[in-house]
Amino acid sequence: MTLSRESSTENMYLPPSLRLLALLAALASGFMTESSHDTIPELSRGCRFNKKCWYLALFTNCRCVGRFQQMVTVEEHPLLELAHFVAEFPCPLEKLGSSVVLGAMLQSGDCAPMHSDEAVRKAIRDMLRHGGYKPTGRGKPASEYLVRAVEEGSLSSINLAVDVCNVVSFHSGLPISVVDFDLVEAPLHVGLATAGASYVFNAAQQVIDLGGLLCLFDHKGPCANGVKDSQRTKTSPSTRRTLSLIWGTRQLPGRAAAAQAWYEQMLRDHGATIRSH
């Protein structure tokens, strides 16, 4: 059966109680799609409307509410101090140019409220090593890759979301994952990857062995960590919402929260809306 506004067979009666539930779900989510925005006037004023609108308004937005309220479940870990939030951008990333200020901040730490050192580097490696993973060589933390890339002058701008992430990670010394929130599938949780787990991490189809490494998992499996994020959930020119995870450690209490506060403020300064848990 075809779903269309023109098909009278697709129209249905929605009881007032369910109509109110759908409206509240759409309003409460804070992550409404263009389709659900179009649906709200129909929900609030009429009792007959298209089934497609009903599904978009109630099920899609209720799902988003759930994903926000229980965004990431974190398994017990003696060292992990995780910070995470969702950022929503006013338009696709391809339409948001990255600020030259961000590039300058990678060259100078004068304006950065945080600075990394050897103690931070060691603490992060200790945390990643706890589950049996070896954070050395090609498997070292993403924050260490940034330091080397900046020193070599090989780090280029990707998009606003990733560029801000890189600035915070570089100066804080904490690895940070940033994924397209619309590409991950609930439920989301953070925990240790089992032996033999892996995923593709770049367009060249290179694979990282994840055994013993703290990872973000969605319905399909591991998709991000403090070393390399999965290719399947990376940001793209069409990205509108991102989920960021700051892989902090209890050996550096409060550092992840401080990095998050700075990170969120820079994104707000560039027009993003922040949804924290």
Q: How confident is the model at residue 260 (pLDDT cuts 50, 70, 90)?
A: very high
Q: Rounded to an integer, what distance in angstroms lies between the CA atom of residue 149 and that of residue 3?
A: 50
pLDDT band at residue 277 under the 50/70/90 scheme = low
Q: List, as one string, the DSSP characters of 59-116.
A: IIHHHHHHHHHT--EE---SSEEEEEEEEE-SS-GGGSPPPHHHHHHHH--TT-S---
Q: Is the pLDDT of residue 109 over 80?
A: no
Domains of the chain: 8-68 (no CATH), 73-276 (3.50.40.10)
What are the helix (H) ranges across 135-229? Answer: 142-152, 160-172
Residue 12 confidence (pLDDT) above 50: no
| pLDDT at residue 17 is higher than 70 | no
Q: Give the pLDDT confidence score for residue 76 in this predicted structure.
A: 97
Does residue 67 have a pLDDT over 90?
A: no
Query: How far is 270 from 264, CA to CA, in rounded Å?
Result: 10
Coil, helix or strand at residue 145: helix
Q: What's the mean pLDDT in 140-152?
A: 96
Q: What is the pTM of this model?
A: 0.76
